[in-house]
Amino acid sequence: MPGKHVRFASISTAYPPPAVPSLSYSVASVPSSSGPWTPPSRPSVLPPSHHGHSHHKRSHSYPAPQATRVHSLLAYSHHPVINYDVSLPSSTITTTQIGLSTTAFSEPAVYPPVSFIVLHIPHYIWPITVHASYNGHYVTVNDVFTEVYHALRKNVTSAEYNAIPSRKETEKVRMAYETRYKRLRDRHASQSEKQQGVKRVDFLTGHTRFMGLSISPGHGGSSVWVLRLS
């Protein structure tokens, strides 16, 4: 009996920089999506000096260190402000926060601002590097959502697919791939998505709901974060 098969694309798709999402308000999660190769059957600050003063006066020669923090729209939470399925374009983002301005998406993703950040997804082999886009100075909230989507849309090679450690995990990836293209109602769009083959997003095996960013253990700076999904 012939086995099930998956496809692999020979090239990855290039994406133009997307616009800031136009927000709508919703309490529901965004549905999940799918992508080109098809799988066979079966993711120092100095202390202030007092110079002998009897009262302790803080020196202003050195600025106090800034605590590293992430923008509230990106902060990890069991009930995130943002509703987003990372398998879909960032234009599909909705929010439960009434009155949220789209200008918030152009604000720095982390404080202090940085020119790039690296995201790690637990149990996922590819780190995602997000660079500052239009302003070139700091990574914005929108940069994060945009790059996560594009990074996950990259094609998987047959070698990467065959390196999946177990048959059970391979089957989960194959099912995620099938679910992704079958969810498209338009027959031609579904067939086109199928022909593009397995993508990195399929290695998330359906865990595509954005839950936020948290500080990466062992990294004290503001450039390495953990991307939490459910």
Domain range for 203? 69-229
5 domain-assigned: no
Q: What are the DSSP E strand ranges found in the chain?
A: 69-70, 82-83, 94-95, 110-111, 116-120, 128-131, 210-215, 224-229
In this structure, is residue 33 part of a structural domain? no
User: What is the reported pLDDT for 12?
Assistant: 52
Q: Check whether 47 has a pLDDT greater than 80.
A: no
**177: in domain:** yes
pLDDT (0 to 100) of residue 193: 96
Mean pLDDT for the chain overall: 82
71: which residues sit within 8 A by CB, 6+ positions away?
104, 107, 108, 109, 110, 111, 141
Strands (E), 98-141: 110-111, 116-120, 128-131
Stronger pLDDT, 20 or 129, i.e. the higher one: 129
Can you tell me the distance from the alpha carbon of 179 to that of 33, in angstroms, rounded to the nearest whole number? 8
- Torsion sign (Cα): 120, 31, 144, 126: positive
State the pLDDT at residue 35: 39
Kindly state whether residue 110 falls inside one of the protein's structural domains.
Answer: yes
Which residue has better confidence, 137 or 55?
137
Q: Look at residue 106 and tell me if it is in a domain.
A: yes
Q: Residue 27 has what pLDDT?
A: 41
> What does the pLDDT look like over 173-202, one tens digit per residue?
999 999 999 999 999 999 999 999 999 999
**CB under 8 Å to 211, separation ≥6 — which residues?**
76, 77, 78, 80, 228, 229, 230
Per the structure, how many domains does the chain have? 1
Which pLDDT score is estimated for 200?
98
Q: Please state the separation of Cα 27 from the chain's center in Å.
A: 21
- R_g over Cα of the chain: 21
The per-residue pLDDT for 14 is 47
60 domain-assigned: no
188 neighbors 163 (Cβ within 8 angstroms): no
> What percentage of the chain exceeds 90 in pLDDT?
62
Q: Is residue 3 part of a domain?
A: no
pLDDT category, 41, cuts 50, 70, 90?
very low
Predicted confidence band at 216 (pLDDT cuts at 50, 70, 90)?
confident
Tell me, what's the pLDDT at 105?
96
The length of the chain in residues reads 230
∠ CA 25-29-30 to the nearest 5 degrees?
Answer: 90
50 part of a folded domain: no
pLDDT in tens, 200-212: 999 999 999 999 9
Distance CA 56, CA 126 (A): 50
